[in-house]
Structure 1
Amino acid sequence: MRVSVSMYSVNARVQKENWTTVDFLNYAKEIGLGGVELLDIYWKDKENEIAEVVSKLREMELQVSAYDVTNNFVKESAEERTLEVEKINDGIEVAKKLGTNIVRVFCGDLHGNLTYEDGQDWIVEGLKRSAEKAEREQVYLAIENHGLLAGKSEQVEEIIEKVNSPYVKSTFDTGNFLLVHEEPEKAFDKLREKIVHVHFKDFRIKDPSEQVKGFRSTQGVEVIGTIPGEGQVNLSYIVNGLNEIGYDGWLSIEYEGKDDPKVANEEAVRRLRKLLK
């Protein structure tokens, strides 16, 4: 298994210092990484930037672990959902240029009077349409467990099975299951055969005395992002399980805490490498 860091993991620096994707690549190289996870939300001038990024990746001998598309299929009009399909299809093309065969995708979130059944039908329909291109290009669409739809392992599993494509799998986010009150270990046992990408993340319950704003779970519990190993996720269990199934892909760190992300990610990289020995 190989260690990567998501650009979202240093989002506070990206926003504060107006980092470009190349700035992030420079940081990744400085801390000795071999892989980076890139996101569609950070392009400023995508068409021109991609060529520069591809050149820098080659120069720095960095690989792209995954390219993340920020889509949402829970839209009430067919026209809006078609735009989300096109967003993923474009992401497949960008991923190929960047040299990765993993596109992280979302499903969507409930809002208004929509039901789970409404949302799931639209998600399955959209992913089936995008899977046609994914299969042709041999690029995996890796669903991240995220939000109220596909936040739980059984939802991810059900959607993957309904789409029924060998190129629609799981981005297993170790921390996000805590936001829907599912034990990450049990989620891993359910999804272990469907994982093609991993987000290495951890959360802890917020102390009442803390003044920072955290993430609220589906039951209203507030949690704070933390350096992996300082929270509730049994990361050793997951790493050992990945070894058992012969997973040889990327473990991509995604830090969402309040400390300096540069420092936090360097420590996360050290801990993950130690865990992998």
Structure 2
Amino acid sequence: MNNKIGVIVDSFRCGVREGLVKAKQVGAEGVQIYAVSGEMDPDNLNAAARKEWRSYIESLGLEISALVGDLGGHGFQDKTQNPAKIEKSKRILDLAVELGTNVVTTHIGIVPEDENGEVYETMLAACRELSEYATSLNAYFAIETGPETAERLKRFLDKLGSKGVSVNFDPANMVMVTGDDPVRGVYTLKDYIVHTHAKDGIRLREVDPREVYGALGYEPLDHAKIAKEAEQGEAFREVPLGEGAVDWPNYLRALKEIGYTGYLTIEREVGADPEADIAKAVQFLRQFRA
């Protein structure tokens, strides 16, 4: 494995600047940062502030693996909300490029089974616009795996006509929610993977993905609810890297075989001591280095 190791700064549950320092201290080479609100919201950063952030991150010897641009709710299932969400997503991608990365990860909502329904068409239209914009910047919006099977997601992506909307591969989400096989999923989505999350988990029972991710006419995506379920729920549990159902040796081998050379970015959404868990996760991934 020759992939660089990253950390989602927000997993440390402190401010961005402190989180960046902690990421460096645990041995990460890159970071992913939430950019939807607060101090990293593109609406709150003028040109000088953007240059200052980039300079500070580089001074720590870090690079940005991606920004998180997940706007919550139903993703892009609600056509009445999409114009504002699409515009915000574009501004987050602009910020990403200025900060030195070309990836923004996001949730678009559960891709429906019915490919002829209005929600499916609404999501396609939004993603086509986002894909065209990303391609114009040589960048990507990366859909996080988990809400639907890899096969269903691939069929959706194949309809977009460009790869500006691609994949942020999260093996734990697949294990915990759909019961999908991450190793097989890597081969299925091999043409689209531009970023990955390093996370682990176990599935305790079958669960309707709408209970986890929400859906139009059901209920919206609620990150706090997901985190609570992942820590103490009855359907699945997020666990430290290497302690769950993700087959790491074969998963990493699959990524290598498809030619993926991007980041493995550690995400830790639960646990009493995330800093310790993240430090152990860095060491866990390092053991696979060639």
Whether TM-score is above 0.5 comes out as: yes
> 2:111, 2:153 within 8 Å by CA — same for their partners in 1?
no
Match in the other structure for 2:145: 145
SS in 2 for 1:75: coil
Post-superposition offset of 1:205:
4.4
Match in the other structure for 1:47: 45
Q: Cα–Cα, structure 1 residues 115 and 247, in superposed 2: closer, same or farther, change >3 Å?
A: closer
Post-superposition offset of 1:51:
4.0
Distance, in Å, in 1 between the alignment partners of 2:35 and 2:146 is 17
Distance, in Å, in 1 between the alignment partners of 2:229 and 2:248 is 21
RMSD: 2.6
> 1:156, 1:170 within 8 Å by CA — same for their partners in 2?
no
Comparing 181-190 and 91-100, the one that deviates more: 181-190
Are 2:228 and 1:226 aligned? no
1:2 to 1, 4, 7: 4
Post-superposition offset of 1:200:
1.1
2:184 to 183, 186, 190: 186
Q: Cα–Cα, structure 1 residues 53 and 146, in superposed 2: closer, same or farther, change >3 Å?
A: farther
Counterparts of 1:200-219 in structure 2, within 5 Å, are 200-205=198-203, 213-215=228-230
Post-superposition offset of 1:245:
1.9
Counterparts of 1:91-240 in structure 2, within 5 Å, are 91-109=92-110, 117-147=117-147, 151-178=148-175, 179-205=177-203, 213-215=228-230, 222-240=235-253
Distance, in Å, in 1 between the alignment partners of 2:106 and 2:160 is 14
Give me the identity figure in percent: 26
SS in 2 for 1:271: helix
Post-superposition offset of 1:263:
0.3
Give the TM-score normalised by the residue count of structure 1: 0.84
Match in the other structure for 1:20: 15
Distance, in Å, in 1 between the alignment partners of 2:256 and 2:15 is 35
Post-superposition offset of 1:110:
8.5
> 2:230, 2:270 within 8 Å by CA — same for their partners in 1?
no
Residues 200-252 of structure 1 show CA distances to partners (whole Å, capped at 9, x for unaligned) of 11102469xxxx95339xxx952211111100111111110111122111111
Q: Cα–Cα, structure 1 residues 205 and 145, in superposed 2: closer, same or farther, change >3 Å?
A: closer
Q: Cα–Cα, structure 1 residues 88 and 40, in superposed 2: closer, same or farther, change >3 Å?
A: same
Post-superposition offset of 1:106:
1.5
Which residue identity does 1:214 align to in structure 2? Answer: E
Post-superposition offset of 1:267:
0.2
Post-superposition offset of 1:27:
0.8
Gaps of 5+ in 1: none
Residues 32-67 of structure 1 show CA distances to partners (whole Å, capped at 9, x for unaligned) of 221001112453363165444212112112100011
1:74 to 72, 77, 83: 77
Distance, in Å, in 2 between the alignment partners of 1:130 and 1:183 is 28
SS in 1 for 2:287: helix
Equivalenced residues, count:
256
Residues 142-179 of structure 1 show CA distances to partners (whole Å, capped at 9, x for unaligned) of 111143xxx32122212211112132211111111121
Match in the other structure for 2:274: 261
Runs of 4+ in 1 over 4 A off after TM superposition: none
> 1:106, 1:146 within 8 Å by CA — same for their partners in 2?
no
SS in 1 for 2:7: strand
Q: Cα–Cα, structure 1 residues 122 and 252, in superposed 2: closer, same or farther, change >3 Å?
A: same
> 2:169, 2:193 within 8 Å by CA — same for their partners in 1?
yes
Distance, in Å, in 1 between the alignment partners of 2:251 and 2:68 is 22
Which residue identity does 1:180 align to in structure 2? Answer: T
Counterparts of 1:243-262 in structure 2, within 5 Å, are 243-262=256-275
> 1:4, 1:250 within 8 Å by CA — same for their partners in 2?
yes
> 2:5, 2:30 within 8 Å by CA — same for their partners in 1?
yes
